Structure 1
Amino acid sequence: MYPTALTQLARANPFSAPLFSLQKVEEPQHSLHGQKPRRLAAAATADEGDSCEFGSQKYFVLCGFGGILSCGTTHTAVVPLDLVKCRLQVDPDKYKSIGNGFAVTVREDGVRGLAKGWAPTFIGYSMQGLCKFGFYEVFKIFYSDLLGEENTYLWRTSLYLAASASAEFFADVALAPMEAVKVRIQTQPGYANTLRQCVPKMFAEEGIWAFYKGVVPLWMRQIPYTMMKFACFERTVEMLYKYVVPKPRSDCSKSEQLVVTFVAGYIAGVFCAIVSHPADSVVSVLNKEKGSTAVQVLKRLGPRGVWKGLVARIIMIGTLTALQWFIYDSVKVYFRLPRPPPPEMPESLKKKLGLTE
């Protein structure tokens, strides 16, 4: 059978183009029980030393738990920088730079003022991490099964992009309420100082819409961010092991693997910050104001205004992304989750291309 519409759509992806093309794609074969075999480079049964099977319910649950730890803790740790970044975006006349933003905040609110919004940050980004990393693993296997083994290898960047975008769609729905509360606390001095003060006040003024009016700008910000975060990370890890690390990943110690994870995560984080910053500026202003829409905020900020605070965001997101991947990978190591090797060309594809004897 010729490639399906999904395969053809993947081929249109500008981020990836295979070195080879196929004229025909075989239908995925079914097992005796009518189930499709796993297409990713990992066994469907637990190897010796693994705590569970790849793609099992326990595997997904532990990946989600890793997401909670990686996102919740790291975003909470950088609340002071996030607070200054948000204030730079919504009031650039008062907060003129990162250093000035810290100085003004400490002068007006004291050192404790730098921690404003930590509670909604921790709750919101923990829920986002659960969905982001957990659903990414789910969608990656799901889309891999749809594409088949050969197309999974050829179009793996498209697979990473599709899986991460799908996961982030649901992650942002989980994040939106606490993100709205966080931004309101951080950017409107005197409105509310704690989560318990802010939530009932927002609900009384605007109803449930107050917590979800920023979900579309969140999708605009977070979906491109997450697509870059996962696809760039996956391919950077692949290239590091291929061109930089002097030995295969299977021969590297756990600590050496985690160093590669951190480096690849930081590289991915820099690109994430750049592609998502304009939408981040819109989200910050939108959640500060009442009655505004994303389009109105975007017009008011203009082409230059949406890039305010970019340096602070690059520092924050680069560090965040590197730490998140490091923590997430550490959870996988601690719980002995299956760790697929870097993608390799399937034998069936090698035969079709005449690369085997």
Structure 2
Amino acid sequence: MKIDILGAGIGGLTTAVALEQKGIDYTIYESAETIKLAGTGIIMANNAMQVFQKLGLREELEALGNHISSLNITEASLKTVSKVDLSYFEQKYQVKNVAVHRGVLQQMLLKHIDTSKLKLGKRLVQINKEHPYTLKFDDGTTASSQAIIGADGIHSVVRKEFFPKFQIRKAKQVCWRGVVKYELPQDLIGELKEAWYNNLRFGFVQIAKDKVYWYALTTFNNSIDEHQKDQLKEKFNKFHPIVGELIGLTPVDQIHTDEVSDLKPISSWATGNVCLLGDAAHAMTPNLGQGACQAIEDAYVLSECLEKYPLQEAFKKYQKLRIAKAQSLVKTSWHIGKMAHVKNPFLAKCVNFMLKNSPEVMRKKQSEKLFKIATV
């Protein structure tokens, strides 16, 4: 049975790569007219890199990005408050954590699929739910489908059609992202820094020899504050000078502004010959850096299930193996976002104290759960 994948983002493309390797027929429908080398940066954490190891893509991806071995929450001065050392898990799973340009990752994945099966300019608008399903696109064309994987993002049409009881939550936070030509000092190249100060956060990481990905967040009350670059730089003027440099050197058209939101956990991802994957199933706020990583885990587990079970059973098995972990991360990421932006000075000091004094064994245990991939 041919499977139709809706969406050629990282989750959809990784699914296609996995199905390609298993000899399972598929078609990908993507709304964009072209897949450009666009976007900002992304961190492929240990769990995602384990999947790429299984798919035979680890070394290729490592060569395209930058290896990082620690995640650091800091003060505005970049003095470390809390550090997660990733070296133990690198040794345990024999993979590196890689920061890379999102567009570079997508282009790599495209190289490993049959591009004749990729249909661009196909924005899904409706599905006739009588089996075989009829996919209706905004260009007036249709396609008959035996099985559907909805990898079409937080505003998924597949989810809207088959799982209509859902809620997209607004975090009342705005995120600015950018990629800039810049070489960090040698002592900063192998780590992610995220500085917290007075309802503001700023993170940065090297993603290639001469490129740095940065992101900045704050809360808002009524509408997103579309800062000009100079205003954004002024907003973070209490931070380490490198923050102002990164913002100031980034071309205006390379700064992306987005409202932060997630998908409140839903009870089911699979029904009949349809299932959801990635943000369509469990969109999360960016506070754990796990959105794409979880989509990649989905892709691997789903492909393993499809190889071992009949289709409907495979979809249900995939849901059973993945839903608890993904939804736990959605909730955790949501709460971290709220904690990071507390405005009360006393509560902010309490948060800072907890970060400084959380036991290493606790951080290690949390990472252990995060990096463990379900066995089919």
TM-score w.r.t. length of structure 1: 0.28
Structure label with greater radius of gyration: 1
TM-score w.r.t. length of structure 2: 0.27
Which of 1 and 2 has higher RCO (CA within 8 Å, sep 6+)? Answer: 1
Q: Which has the higher helix share?
A: 1
Q: Which has the higher strand share?
A: 2
